[in-house]
Amino acid sequence: MSDETPNPDKDLSAQNLPGQRGDHGEEVRVQRGMFGAQSGADTSGYGGLVRSVRLPGPASRPYGGWFDEVADELEGALEEQGLVPGNAIERTVVDRGELTFHIEREHLVRVARTLRDDPALRFELCTGVSGVHYPGDKGRELHAVYHLRSLTHGRLIRLEVSAPDADPHVPSLVAVYPTNDWHEREAYDFFGIVFDGHPALTRIMMPDDWQGHPQRKDYPLGGIAVEYKGAQIPAPDQRRSYS
Amino acid sequence: MGLEEKLPSGFLLTTVEQAAGWVRKSSVFPATFGLACCAIEMMTTGAGRYDLARFGMEVFRGSPRQADLMIVAGRVSQKMAPVLRQVYDQMPNPKWVISMGVCASSGGMFNNYAIVQGVDHIVPVDIYLPGCPPRPEMLMDAILKLHQKIQTSKLGVNAAEAAREAEEAALKALPTIEMKGLLR
Amino acid sequence: MTTPSASARETTEGTVYTVTGGDWDEVVRSAAKADDERIVVNMGPQHPSTHGVLRLILEIDGETVTEARCGIGYLHTGIEKNLEYRTWTQGTTFVTRMDYLTSFYNETAYCLGVEKLLGITDQVPDRASVIRVLLMELNRLSSHLVCIATGGMELGATTIMIYGFRDREMILDLYELITGLRMNHAFIRPGGLAQDLPPGAVDAVREFVRTMRKNLPEYDKLATGNPIFKARMQDVGHLDLTGCMALGATGPILRSAGLPHDLRKTDPYCGYETYDFEVPTADSCDAYGRFLVRLEEMRQSLRIVEQCLDRLEPGPVMVGDKKIAWPAQLALGPDGLGNSLDHIKKIMGTSMEALIHHFKLVTEGFRVPPGQAYVAVESPKGELGVHVVSDGGTRPFRVHYRDPSFTNLQAMAAMCEGGQVADVIVAVASIDPVMGGVDR
């Protein structure tokens, strides 16, 4: 965040409010106040502050480097299969030197299979799925993020799929990438994302009879207060925070 | 040992308690209960440089039924807790437990949904060993302290009496939250 | 009840039942007729040779494993969730405890991720990168040593275990000299390192490289040509390239199948492209090949360590940006390691800005612009990837580790099914899973 940093936020005169992105990008949350004060006892003057937290938004062509090549190839290959690329690929994000395709969930398997099989793409290695829970991103709270690596071409891309909390279903990629077996079970265990078509979607980390999905944002950390001589320190999620 | 050469008239007087304690402490068989980082330090303690064999306990038993010491080395998850208790129940009496490292002792930095906040919720602990992970020297110190405890432990009626006294003392003890003084 | 299951007669002691009938005769007869000895064996989670708290569920027909499944999660620590309640810098303290045998890799991967989000990847000083590489390669040595040592122990070869721990102990001494701790260092921080190398560290590492060069051939003498060792390892835990790719196996497992894929070469970080080293492979796809690959990797790591020592130039080990650089200058005081008195005097007495930065960074931490990043490093076990998401706050929004042990352990079933029970141990040991990394 120094002056010479090539920071996407820099030009938005947001020195005093880091993380501000103007009205660009995708809003995932609205934050009120600052310094974590919620009780109204905030004397800092920032108590009434309202700002939206925005993730990087869609990029426009050219994406730069090999990104265009991959995007072209993918769109071409999808068209060959009679799929309108605009329907399958919600948007393409280029941020911090990484290429992200946001995919409509019903087309995920097709896209992944294309990415794996097309000789010009050849993303042979899937590094698993990482769930992210954005409770403020209404209608698309649960995100499943896949990173695909091409050993042939030495490339790395990211696929992102979202599902609402009310209907947490995402198609399983186990048929395309068998390595996703445990990864999807993990994402199910921690986030409650149901991967349709997974051969045995059961809990993997938590005990079988565990209630809830512990790494969702609405699941408490579950720590207990620690007693010292004459003092008590609340659990990490109960303490005052600065977010 | 040469001990027998120094006995003035060929015999030695002691109490049954001391003799039993001496015998017990001299051949403690630890069960392998390695869980996390501390388990690696526990293995290191058994290996060449620190050489736990000097204290007559280099043989870590694979089966709990042959062991009388459980070194809980690492964080105990909610999923592991029933397993740990079962292993403890399978060990024959008398048995002792060393809670190795802060995670086993109190949950440590992992104050969250997954970790049991102290293995003493599940099994009685004789020695709490701090550190993350404790050095092998610290583990050896804990083991030597446990040896001392075993040596001086009581038998039969005396043991019941000692347990009653410990219980009374614990009931009278000041809760941590009411203690005064520095935070340590 | 149509047929009485037991005949009863009255005696002075009460009713006595004679249980003969029912359908038990039939059940016993049919059980005897089925000639297979199919049993299900539960191994672990507390077993001396399952590499930590791994649970194996094996379906056995005689001595042959017909089906093998893993039960994991017995060491699930919730580290990823805990990270969301700590500042970005405090995160290193948590991630270092994931795969506790490859601490420096966890830390580096996490810090590279945070640096990518901050956009300061290019500003990390050279000296910090060189020391990161140095520590990572030492870590590769110590991790492989534990793998070979415990793998040997699980085969019953106790000597190799003593050798492995002997050499690892020397590396731990170096860690202790450099970071102050034997394990779980939290030494690599977003933006650089916690502090510079202490005096004497370079000489100590050089001395170690000399000793290790002498000790490494002992493993060859002890194991490589040993007929018993070979008989136990060769053609055991077979997983070919197709299997590796499908199951996402990386690291020594992939390289033992003949593909020289190494992120240090294909997707370099920390300046690995400037170091001279080779990526060893084997073509046997078995546990023995993995052993040979690991042994050769240790030699290559020693080469890299030497190159690091040669290119260490004096300079800072933390980015210049005072809004990110952790403001501590540690020194040994009367009550242990802490902030140096000179530094405290300076920030308290003469520099208002330094005091403000110190206060803000320690209590609040720095903010990271929203977005996500994926960074992967080649850990001794394979591709260690970190997916870091920020929402612009002072704490991570989500950190996910793609741990190589977790992914590679999936290959256990493919390696073991159809083999002998005794070979399961060899196959699992050749994967080298560390449950701290698997379960996180």
Per-residue pLDDT of C68-105, as tens digits, reads 888 898 989 999 999 998 899 999 999 999 989 999 99
Residue A24: the pLDDT is 67
Segments in chain A forming alpha helices (H): 67-80, 85-88, 108-117, 180-191
User: In the 3-class helix/strand/coil scheme, how is B20-88 assigned residue by residue?
Assistant: HHHHHHHCCCEECCECCHHHHHHHHHHCCCCCHHHHCCCCCECCHHHCCEEEEECCCECCCHHHHHHHH
Chain B closest CA to C388's CA: distance in Å? 20
Query: Does residue A10 carry a pLDDT above 50?
Result: no
Per-residue pLDDT of A111-129, as tens digits, reads 999 999 988 888 999 998 9
Under the banding of pLDDT at 50, 70 and 90, the label for residue C43 is confident
Query: Does residue A62 carry a pLDDT above 90?
Result: no
Nearest-CB residue to A229 (from B79, B114, B179): B179
Chain A from 58 to 97: CB within 8 A of any C CB? 95-97
- Model pTM? 0.88
Under the banding of pLDDT at 50, 70 and 90, the label for residue A182 is very high
| A20 chain-C contacts, CB cut-off 8 A | 392
Using the Cβ of B49 and the Cβ atoms of chain C, whether some distance falls under 8 Å is answered with yes
Using the Cβ of B177 and the Cβ atoms of chain A, whether some distance falls under 8 Å is answered with yes
Say if residues B74 and C75 touch (Cβ distance below 8 Å): yes
Residue C330: the pLDDT is 75
Under the banding of pLDDT at 50, 70 and 90, the label for residue B4 is low
Residue A13: the pLDDT is 43
Best C368, C407, C435 residue to mutate vs chain A (most A CBs within 10 Å): C407
Calpha distance C19→C16 (Å, rounded): 10
Query: Does residue A194 carry a pLDDT above 90?
Result: yes
Residue A130: the pLDDT is 92
User: What does DSSP say about strands A169-171 and A194-196: parallel, antiparallel, or unpaired?
Assistant: parallel
Chain C closest CA to B141's CA: distance in Å? 18
Of chain B, the percentage scoring pLDDT greater than 70 comes to 96
Under the banding of pLDDT at 50, 70 and 90, the label for residue C298 is very high
Nearest-CB residue to C100 (from B33, B37, B84): B37
ipTM of the complex: 0.86
Under the banding of pLDDT at 50, 70 and 90, the label for residue A7 is very low
| B117 chain-A contacts, CB cut-off 8 A | 224
User: What would the mean pLDDT of A57-79 be, rounded to a whole number?
Assistant: 87
Residue B17: the pLDDT is 84
| Residue with more model confidence, C1 or B89 | B89
Residue A45: the pLDDT is 65
Query: Does residue C267 carry a pLDDT above 50?
Result: yes
User: What would the mean pLDDT of A162-168 be, rounded to a whole number?
Assistant: 91
Task: Read off the tokens for C332.
Answer: 């040994």
| Residue with more model confidence, B183 or C303 | C303
Calpha distance B54→B32 (Å, rounded): 18
Calpha distance C429→C164 (Å, rounded): 15
Residue B157: the pLDDT is 86
B103 is known to lie in a ligand binding site: yes
Under the banding of pLDDT at 50, 70 and 90, the label for residue A8 is very low
What is the number of CB-based contacts under 8 A between chain A and chain B? 50
What's the mean pLDDT when you consider all of chain B?
86
Query: Does residue C372 carry a pLDDT above 60?
Result: yes
Residue A92 pairs in a beta bridge with A101
Using the Cβ of A233 and the Cβ atoms of chain B, whether some distance falls under 8 Å is answered with no
| A227 chain-B contacts, CB cut-off 8 A | 175-177
Under the banding of pLDDT at 50, 70 and 90, the label for residue A12 is very low
Using the Cβ of B83 and the Cβ atoms of chain A, whether some distance falls under 8 Å is answered with no
| Residue with more model confidence, C141 or A138 | C141
| Residue with more model confidence, C268 or C358 | C268
Say if residues B55 and C118 touch (Cβ distance below 8 Å): no
Sign of CA dihedral C86, C88, C89, C93: positive
Calpha distance C241→C289 (Å, rounded): 13
Residue C108: the pLDDT is 94
Under the banding of pLDDT at 50, 70 and 90, the label for residue A143 is very high
Of chain B, the percentage scoring pLDDT greater than 90 comes to 24
Best B75, B76, B79, B111 residue to mutate vs chain A (most A CBs within 10 Å): B111
Closest CA to B139 of B71, B75, B37: B71
Give Cβ neighbours of residue B151 (< 8 Å, ≥ 6 apart): B18, B21, B22, B24, B25
Residue A2: the pLDDT is 40
Nearest-CB residue to B111 (from A210, A219, A235): A235
What's the mean pLDDT when you consider all of chain C?
87
Using the Cβ of C323 and the Cβ atoms of chain B, whether some distance falls under 8 Å is answered with no
Amino acid identity at A205: M
User: What would the mean pLDDT of C352-362 be, rounded to a whole number?
Assistant: 84
Calpha distance C404→C437 (Å, rounded): 8
What is the number of CB-based contacts under 8 A between chain A and chain C? 170
Closest CA to C381 of C422, C435, C423: C435
Using the Cβ of C217 and the Cβ atoms of chain A, whether some distance falls under 8 Å is answered with no
Counting as contact any 3 or more CB pairs under 8 A, the partners of B are A, C
Query: Does residue A14 carry a pLDDT above 50?
Result: no
**Angstrom distances, CA of residue B99 to CA of A216, B93, B152:** 32, 18, 20
Best A203, A229, A238, A239 residue to mutate vs chain B (most B CBs within 10 Å): A229
Residue A22: the pLDDT is 54
| C46 chain-B contacts, CB cut-off 8 A | 32-33, 64, 83-84, 87
Say if residues A23 and A17 touch (Cβ distance below 8 Å): no
Residue C1: the pLDDT is 43
| Residue A64 Rama label (left phi>0; alpha psi -120 to 50; beta) | left
Per-residue pLDDT of B6-57, as tens digits, reads 777 777 778 888 888 888 888 888 887 888 888 889 888 888 888 888 887 7
Say if residues C246 and A124 touch (Cβ distance below 8 Å): no
B26 is known to lie in a ligand binding site: no
Nearest-CB residue to A214 (from B113, B175, B179): B113
Residue C180: the pLDDT is 86
